[in-house]
Structures are given as structure tokens and as C-alpha cells.
Amino acid sequence: MNLSAEQIQSNWEKMLGYINAYISDPRREKLIEFYKKHEEEIMLMPASHKKAYHNSFPGGYVDHVNRVIEGALATNKIWVEFGAEQNYTVEELVFSALNHDLGKLGEEDNYAHIPSQDEWRKKNLGEMYQYNKKLAYMSVPDRSIKLLIDHDIKLTENEWMCIKLHDGLYDQANEPYLKNYMPEQKPRTSMVFIIHQADLMAARIEFEQVWLSKFNEEVLDKPKAKKLDVKTKALGSMKSEGLKNMLNSL
Ligand SMILES: [Fe+2]
């Protein structure tokens, strides 16, 4: 999947629109300044380096982030309807969705994603981007939080938890926060689960849009085509009409 230049531009403006609509000053101002400073990179970066993951194409990151923001707002309504305690704000919810994957950017002088020049890896492994090896290893949630702190953009404790735990139990590092049975050790707000659900939903849908139909077509449908070829070939080489009819009716 590829986005047009117009779609990339309009997704970017939509994301800035969410900042202006949901985040209050002084954080709104600081976030706009940060995002505009890295406009070109953020606007064009993918959500992941590999096709088999999700949104691995120019503009994929912002497309994903907008889907998570919209998904979080919609998921929140369901949680509220079912009685979730409202001990968090909509600003916190949107701030967390907006910045949950920010660490994918990398650092100021070392952006994380480099378009791959390796044609074999692109064709056979779907690795469209390479990780910038100059960048020290840090998990995406940790770098998201670091980038915000580096730019003097303060986080509430709820936002910190949501960004840190957005991969849920898919990330073992989150187990001490999420796999415990003492009431006092459980997350204090449902927002942690709402952000995780919104991210999971967005990434799954992005995977389906680009990859699932292609996988079904290329991998699951192929054996059928092969079987048909064998049958056609066998029919063509037979002289007996009786045998041909028998095989053809199988
Ligand atoms: Fe994400």
C-alpha cells in the first residue's frame, strides 16, 4: 500500500489538528514546535520497518498514529458505557495515543529508519527499511518518553503508564505492571488498557489492509492452482476417452 502525497499531507494536518483540539497550553505549543521541527521525517516515516508488521511505507507512521487516536476515543466511549471509572482526562488519552510510538523516530541527529538499499531483503523478507545502527538500543516506549522529557514536554503519571505499557503483555517488560494480582499493584486507570486496545486494533487492521489479502492470494490459493495444473496436464496426456472422463469428473 502506498499513500499519495495529498494523503500524506492531509494525515499530517489531521494529526496537528488533534494536538490543537485536545492538548492544552503550554504542552500544545511545545508539541507543535517539536512535531514541526521534525516535520519532514515524521510525515514520511513508516510505522514499522517490515512489510509483515504494519504500515511499512512512507507516511505509515502518521496514518497509524491517527488511527490509534481515533480508536482510543472510540474505545473510550465503550469503556465509559460499560462503567469504567473516569479518573483520567480526554487530554491524557489523546496525548498518550499521539505519542505512544514517538520513539520510532530515533534521535535528533540519528533518525531510526533508513530506506533499505538491499533489494534481496526487500523482495524476499519485506524489509523495506533498515534500523540506523548509530542509534543505541532503547525500547520504543522508553525512547518515546525520553524524547518528550528531552523537549521539556511534561507527562502525567497516567500518560507515562499508557506510553510505557501500550504493547500490553506482548512485551515481557510490562509483566510487573500488568501480571499481578494485588489490587494496589494493578494500573490505577483503565486508560492503560484502552490505549493498548486501540493500538492493537490499529496495527491489526493495517496488517489486514496490506498483507493479509496478499498472503491469502499468494500462499493459500497457490496449492489449488497447482493441483489444477497437474490435473490439466494429466488430462492432456491421456489417450483413453473413458479414463479422461473419469479423471475429469474427480
Ligand atoms: Fe502503535
Supply the DSSP string of 78-92, one letter for each residue: HHHHTT----S-HHH
Give the model's confidence band at 223: pLDDT under 50 very low, under 70 low, under 90 confident, else very high: low
Amino acid letter, 123: K
Contacts of 231 (CB under 8 A, 6+ apart): 247, 250
Q: State the distance from the centre of ligand 1 to the C-alpha of 199, rounded, in angstroms.
A: 5
Q: State the distance from the centre of ligand 1 to the C-alpha of 240, rounded, in angstroms.
A: 62
What does the pLDDT look like over 9-39, one tens digit per residue?
A: 999 999 999 999 999 999 999 999 999 999 9
Residues with Cβ–ion distance below 5 A, ligand 1: 101, 199
- Residue from 111, 133, 139 nearest 46 by CA: 111
The pTM score is 0.83
- Look at residue 116 in the predicted model and tell me its pLDDT: 75
Lowest-confidence pick of 68-77, 91-100, 127-136:
127-136
Q: State the distance from the centre of ligand 1 to the C-alpha of 24, rounded, in angstroms.
A: 23
What does the pLDDT look like over 77-98, one tens digit per residue?
A: 999 999 999 999 999 999 999 9
Share of the chain above pLDDT 70, in %: 85
- Look at residue 211 in the predicted model and tell me its pLDDT: 77
- Look at residue 225 in the predicted model and tell me its pLDDT: 53
- Residue from 249, 227, 247 nearest 237 by CA: 247
Give the model's confidence band at 239: pLDDT under 50 very low, under 70 low, under 90 confident, else very high: low
Region 53-82: what's the mean pLDDT?
94
Lowest-confidence pick of 59-73, 106-120, 131-145, 185-199:
106-120
- Look at residue 84 in the predicted model and tell me its pLDDT: 96
Helix-helix angle 140-150:157-164, to 10 degrees: 150
CB 128 within 8 A of CB 116: yes
Q: State the distance from the centre of ligand 1 to the C-alpha of 225, rounded, in angstroms.
A: 37
- Look at residue 212 in the predicted model and tell me its pLDDT: 75
For the record, the C-alpha cell of 111 comes out as: 533518525
